[in-house]
Amino acid sequence: MENFKIDVDADGIALITFDVPGRSMNTLTSGVMAEIPEWVERVKTDDAIKGAVLTSGKASGFCAGADLGDMASGMLGGADLQAAFDAGWRLNGALRALETCGKPVAAAINGLALGGGLELTLACHYRVVGDSPKIQLGLPEIKVGLFPGGGGTQRLSRLVGVQAAMMAMSEGKSFRPNDAKGAGIVHEVVPVGGEVEAAKAWIKSGGKAVQPWDDKSFKLPGGGPYHPAGIQNFLVGNAMLRKQSYGNYPAVLNLMKAVYEGVQVPMDAALRIETRYFIKTLMTPQAQGMIRSLFLSKQELDKGAVRPAGVLKSDPKKVTVIGAGMMGAGIAYVQAMAGIETILIDQTQEAADKGKAHVEELLKKRLSRGQLTQDKFDALLGSVTATTDYNLIKGSDLVIEAVFENREIKADVTKRAEAQLEAGAVFGSNTSTLPITGLAEASVRPEDFIGIHFFSPVDKMMLVEVILGEKTGDFAIAKSLDYIMKIKKTPIVVNDGRGFYTSRCFGTYVAEGLAMLEEGYAPAMIDNIGRMTGMPRGPLEMHDDVALDLSVKIAKQTKDDLGDAYEPLPGWKIVQTMVEDLGRYGRKNGKGFYDYDSKPKKLWSGLSDLAPVKINDSTPEVVEDQKRRLLYRQAVEVARCWEEGVIDDPREADVGAILAWGFAPWTGGPITMIDQTGLKEFVAQADQYAAKYGDRFSPPQLLRDMAAKGETFYGNFEGKKAAA
C-alpha cells in the first residue's frame, strides 16, 4: 500500500502507520479511502494478527480530514445520484467494516485529528491521545458548508449523547485532549510519545472488539427522539439551530435530520441515512461555494498563489511596527508568535510600553492555557522592543506604519523611517482607506512602498489586504506576501483606489443600513435583517463597532481630497449629529446607535428623534427583499471594483469578502453569489433596486456585457488559467 504501512509485532499486534507520501499532513484522499478496506481485510483475516493500532507517521498531526477538492470532484462527477451515493459510501462502508472486523483496534492519536481524521478514530474501539496543547480533535465540517459524512453524526451522538454531539458538530467545535476525554470522545490521555504503547497495552489487557452501539444492551445517552428527555434535544435544538443559521445553511438542517433519523435505527441503516443527507448537502450551491472559497481558494492563497514569479523567496527576521495602539500592538504580537524580532515604536515611551503590555496580555492567555511554556513566553515577549528610537529600525526587512489615518502624520513617519532603511527593505502602510499612490509621494523609494492592511483584532482576523501603488514593484509584493505567509495570515493583492477593496465594499453594508434608517425603517428591524442575511452583525451595530467618529474623520478626509466631487451618503447627517453634537462615538465610548452601559446592549432611545420610524412592516416578503437589498449593494460594489481594476481574481474577491468583513459565508462570497444567481437575473434585480433606491445599485457595464454573453466570473477566470 502507498499510504499505510503494517508491522506486526511479536504479540500479534499490527501497527498500522498512516503516512501519505509527499504531504506534510495526512488527508483522506481517494487513494487513502481505497486502501482502508485493504488493511481492514488483512486485520480481519490474518490469523497472526490479534489486534491493531492505527497511528500517524507524520510529525505534524494524525489526519486533517478529507481532501475536499478530491472528494468533491469524485462525488460530483455527474448528476447520477446513485454514483454520488456510492462514492460517499466508500468511507462509511470501510469504517463500518473496521469496527466490525472482530478484532480490537485502537487509535494512537499523535497529532490533530479533525473531520474525517477524527471519524476514522471513532470507528476504532479505543482511542488514546497525546497530552499536547497543539492537538485538536473535532468535526469542523460545518465551517465549509458540510457536516460529518464518515459516520461522525452517528458515532459521536451515540458516544456523548445527542445534545453534546449536536452542539459540537453545529459549531464545528474543537477539543483539546483532556477536554475530549472529559466529553467522552477519547478514552485515555498519555504523555506525548506514549500513544502507541498505551494503545497496545489496552489490546494486551483484553480490549473489547465490539463498539458500544453494537452491544445489545446499548442505550443512547440522554435518550432518543421519543424519550421524555431526549425529545427536548430536537425541539429545543431545532430552534437553536434556526437562531444560529437563519435558514441559510442547508448543512445545519440536514445534520439535524441525519441525527434525528439515524439514532432511531441500527448503525448500518444509520450510516446510510447519514450518507444520503451528506450527498444532498454536498450538492447544494451553498456547500459548493463554501468549499471552493473557504477551503480550496483560501488554501491556494495561503500558499502564495498570487505571488509574483521569478522573485527569490525571502524570510523576514526583523520587522518594525510604528504606532503601538491596538492595531500596531496586535501586529507586534503575531510577528512575535512567528519568531520575528519586532521593534515597536510610538511617540512616547509610555505609549510604546502600553503596546508591548498588550502583547504580554495576549501571550499570558496562551501561557494560562498551556499553549506556551514559561521559557517560550519569556523569549517571545523579549523579542518585542518598545521604544521611541527610530535608529532601532536599522536592519529591518520591513517597516509597517500603523499610525492615525492622517496623510500628514503618515508622510512624516514615512520619511523618518526610510532614513533608517537599508536597500532591500520594504515600507508598508497599514491604512484602511487612504490611496497608496498618494501616500507613496512622501517616499524616496516608491517602488518599495506598499499597502499592508490588517484587520482588527489582528490576532483573530486572518486576512491581510496588500495594496499596490502605481510604482510598487514585484519585489515589494513578493516580500510582503512572504511576510504575511510567515505570520500565518491569508493575503489578497488589490490595486489602489479610495478604500481599496475591503473597506470600500464593507462600507456599503454600513451605509445601506444608514439609508434604511433615514427611510424610516425601525432600527431593530434593520439589524435583525442584517443578521438574517448571514452577516456577522447588523449594519448599525457593526457601525458602532468600527466607531462612528472614525467614519466622520474618513468622510472629512474624503471630502478634502475630492472637493466638489464629494457626495455625502444617505443618512450621513444622522451620524454627523451623533458624533459632533452628542458625543456618541460607538462601542468605544459606550454610546452609539446602542447604549452599552448594561448587558445586553440596548438601542439608544434618542435615535427615534433623529430618525423617526415610518416602516415597521416585517412580513416575510419585506424581510426577504431587504435581505437581498443589503447583499446586492455589497455585490454591486464588488463588481465595480472588478470593472475598475481594483481586483481581478475571483478567489481573492470571495475569500477577502468573507474573511475581512464577514460577507455572508453561505454564499461563497459576492462573486460566487453573482455567478450562482446568474448574471442576467442579478442585473435585472439590481436595476429594480436602482430605480427604487438610487444609482448606487446600478450594475456596472461589465455585468451587463457578461450577462449578454452568458459569462460568469469563475468561468472566465478558469478560461484564462487554461490559456496561460
Which residues make Cβ contacts (< 8 Å) with residue 583, sequence separation at least 6?
589, 591
**Do 71 and 295 contact (CB within 8 A), yes or no?**
no
Grid coordinates belonging to 103: 478484532
d(CA 654, CA 495): 16
Q: What is the distance between the alpha carbons of residues 294 and 142, in angstroms, rounded to a whole number? A: 11
What is residue 466's three-state secondary structure?
A: strand
C-alpha distances out from residue 11 to 14, 36, 42, 201, Å = 9, 23, 16, 11
Torsion of CA 649, 651, 657, 660, to 10 degrees: -100
DSSP 615-670: B----HHHHHHHHHHHHHHHHHHHHHHHHTTS---HHHHHHHHHHHH---GGGTSH
Per 3-state DSSP, what percentage of the chain is helix, strand, and coil (rounded to 5)? Answer: 55, 10, 35
Rounded CA separation 206/428 (Å): 62
Going by C-alpha positions, the residue among 451, 446, 439 that lies closest to residue 412 is 439
Three cell numbers written together for 224 = 432518543
CB 213 within 8 A of CB 267: yes
Q: Among residues 377, 352, 373, 376, which one has the least CA distance to residue 363?
A: 377
The grid cell for 490 is 491569508
Burial 30-60 (b: 16+ CB within 10 A, else e): eebbebbbebbebbeeeeebbbbbbbbebee
Largest CA distance in the chain: 87
Of residues 343, 631, 335, the one with CA closest to residue 488:
335
Parallel/antiparallel/unpaired status of strands 426-429 and 594-595: unpaired
Tracing cell 481517494 back to the chain, one arrives at 30
Tell me if 464 sits within 8 A of 489, measured CB to CB.
yes
Catalytic residue ranges: 453
H or E segment to which residue 377 belongs: helix 374-382
Contact 16, 53 (CB under 8 A): yes
Say how far apart CA 337 and CA 551 lie, in whole Å: 32
What is the rounded distance in angstroms from the CA atom of residue 264 to the CA atom of residue 652?
44
The Cα–Cα gap between 89 and 37 comes to 12
CA 454 to chain CA centroid, nearest Å: 15
104 — alpha (psi -120 to 50), left (phi > 0) or beta?
beta
The three three-digit cell numbers of residue 347, written as one number: 511617540
Which strand (E) or helix (H) includes residue 92? helix 81-99
